[in-house]
Amino acid sequence: MNPRSLRNLRVFSALAAWCLLTIAVSAKDVVYEVEVRADAKIPMSDGANLAAHIFLPKAEGQFPTVLVRTPYGKGGTQGGAGHSYASRGYVYISQDCRGKGASEGEWIPFVNEIRDGRDTHRWILDQPWSNGAIGTAGGSYVGYTQWTAAPGAGEHLKAMFPVVPLIEPYRDVAYVGGAFQLSLMMGWGAGVSGRSEVRTWDQDAWLKAFRTLPLSTWDTCVGGEIQYLRDWVAHPHFDDYWKQGGLQGREEDITTPIYVTGGWYDIFAGSVFRHMNDVRKRTKSDDVKKHLHILMGPWTHGISKNGKVGSMDFGKEAVVDVSAIQAKWLDHWLKGRETDVDQWPPFRIFVMGRNQWRDEQEWPLARTQYRPYYFHSGGSANTLAGDGKLDAAKPGQEPADRYVYDPNEPVPTLGGCNLGRCPTGPHDQTAAEQRKDVLVFTGEELTNELEVTGPVKVVLYAASSATDTDWTAKLVDVHPDGRAINLCDGIVRARYRESADAPALIEPGKVYRYEIDLWVTSNAFLPGHRIRVEISSSNFPRFDRNPNTGHTFGADAEVQAATQTVHHESEYASHILLPIIP
């Protein structure tokens, strides 16, 4: 098996390994011998049996339970988190999701986790070894299995500890700004399907596969029909297909303390803030509002073990012992152990550039000053060698910038909030900035530090020769040595400029206002650095290529080029809105 392919296929399962962390035994713990019940069958309400390894203390009495529900394999029965937790007086359950591992039923991502999670909770509460307290743990999709079963779970669900979690399938993973997250959905979706073909693919093979059209039959390149891949393409709107497995409208029924670990370069970087804030606003439990926490580091879809992420080294401060935090969190809520959890801040964020942690009480920060930085040029902002400028002065009468977006030659993904099939995290963007279909707007060299922390967006006034197209934006920190390091980026599909469930095509040549959500970041632009914004129409293979036809999504086997016009003048003052922290 190709080593790189094997690594890629296991990216998500590596995150699930956060639930397999070995926990140190403290002097306060009674150390138990451990009993293992391998492949125990847990019945679901529809008659299917889901398999689980159950680790129990060899002792009389009742104990709290730590539950992990995973599609990545429930692991072995020797050592690991199961033995660690059970030896400390927990029952630890690692369960295969429906249709995965030794579990019965059909594996369909996002569809069965609400019911199966609740059924598993009920089964635990009926067991003689259960004391009625359940905690959940795990990363990525294993975070999703926690979140989706949380609304209405009741008092028995005492605590959650999701790491870089998927929470809402439609907006968090499938469609961003209306654009399909191609490399993530098709790469991960094919990988967890069990198809053997993808196990031999190297990076070039994946890149070739991502060019397969039409998207509605993309699964033919991995050996035949995978129905859920087709379903994802067949449902580009936020409709009942996505709502059945989503969190939206159920936040008020979450009454469980939650500690989330995320990363500025994670695929779910923006969503963890949005969902935690939604729970804080809507939960019925005033007590839980005080016990919602986010730890946000300079990481991708996992926690760096040495401070190195992408092409950057954030130093030893970026290395965090998440296992110790998790153990203290679960001990507090499931065992009633006295800890300092009640003093933990709602938000603990890592400020890049300065490379320091800081505690905050709200998000966005109350002291934020939102400041627009406007795009300027003489009509030739194309490439790094162009005349694009960025500053706080509103533009007057300036000529527009133009470029041709050809889906056959898309701008390549060079880092960012990606997973598995293309570069992830911070990387030098200079290669992309050499392209004529990338507009580059750069600010003056900074004489003082400027901190940008919070949600970032671009307001773009633009026209296209097509009836549908994409607009992309990227915030970049230009270092004194010339490296252009990406911080955050975003995309908007023109037909979804106003609504995720009511698309509307555009009129060729007409200027429209677009808001491009660049998600979130925290970065101190140091003296000698420059702020830069890139504007284009593709970011491939992270996102699918808009064929510029306006046809039904996923149906096109052919694509066409579009001429794009970006305006920056008094009437159409395109800009980036930065959250400046004094």
For residue 38, what pLDDT band results from cuts at 50, 70 and 90? very high
pLDDT, tens only, 445-457: 999 999 999 999 9
Q: Could you write out the three-class secondary structure of 3-15?
A: HHHHHHHCHHHHH
Q: Is 115 exposed, middle or buried (0-12, 13-18, 19+ CB in 10 A)?
A: middle
Whole-number pLDDT of residue 371: 98
Could you tell me what percent of the chain has a pLDDT over 70?
95
- Whether cis (ω within 30° of 0) applies to the bond prior to 407 is no
Q: Where are the beta strands (DSSP E) in 289-352?
A: 292-297, 308-309, 312-313, 347-351
What CATH class is the domain 3-178+236-360?
Answer: alpha beta
pLDDT of the residue at 224: 86
Q: What is the pTM of this model?
A: 0.95
Instruction: Give the torsion sign (CA, 334, 336, 340, 344).
Output: positive
**Mean per-residue pLDDT, 42-55:** 98
Burial of 343 (0-12, 13-18, 19+ CB in 10 A): exposed
CB 438 within 8 A of CB 411: yes
Q: Which of 556, 395, 372, 405 is nearest to 494 (CA)?
A: 405
Q: What is the mean pLDDT of the chain?
A: 94
Retrieve residue 85's tokens.
């937790």
Model pLDDT, residue 575: 98
- The pLDDT of residue 28: 64
Residue 42 CA: distances (Å) to CA of 45, 114, 119, 124, 144: 10, 15, 9, 9, 20
Q: Which residues are catalytic?
A: 140, 266, 301
The radius of gyration computed from the CA coordinates of the chain, to the nearest angstrom, equals 24
Give the pair of three-digit tokens for residue 554.
């996923």
The answer to whether residues 472 and 539 touch, using CB atoms and an 8 Å cutoff, is: yes
Distance set, CA 384 to CA 155, 431, 534, 535 (Å): 57, 9, 10, 12
Amino acid at 101: G
**Which residues make up the CATH 3.40.50.1820 domain(s) of the chain?**
3-178+236-360
Q: Is the pLDDT of residue 348 over 60?
A: yes
All CATH 2.60.120.260 domain ranges of the chain, comma separated, are: 369-581
Interstrand relation of 292-297 and 130-139 (parallel, antiparallel or unpaired): unpaired
Tokens, residue 224: 């035949």
Instruction: State how far the alpha carbon of 472 is from the alpha carbons of 90, 103, 213, 458, 490, in Å.
Output: 48, 42, 22, 9, 6
Looking at this protein, which amino acid is placed at residue 491?
A: I
- Long-range pairs of 21-27 with CB within 8 A, sequence gap ≥ 24: 21/81, 21/84, 21/322, 21/323, 21/326, 22/79, 22/80, 22/81, 22/84, 22/323, 23/81, 23/84, 23/85, 23/88, 23/323, 23/326, 23/327, 24/324, 24/327, 25/84, 25/87, 25/88
* pLDDT at position 1: 40
pLDDT of residue 196: 74
Q: Does position 300 have pLDDT exceeding 80, yes or no?
A: yes
Mean pLDDT lowest among 50-54, 108-112, 147-151, 204-208: 204-208
Q: Encode pLDDT of 510-532 as tens digits.
A: 999 999 999 999 999 999 999 99
**Percent of the chain surpassing pLDDT 90:** 89
State pLDDT tens for residues 90-137: 999 999 999 999 999 999 999 999 999 999 999 999 999 999 999 999
Q: Any idea which fold 369-581 has?
A: Jelly Rolls (2.60.120)
Q: Which residue is it, tokens 């966005």?
A: 364
pLDDT of 11 above 50: no
> Span 276-299, mean pLDDT?
96
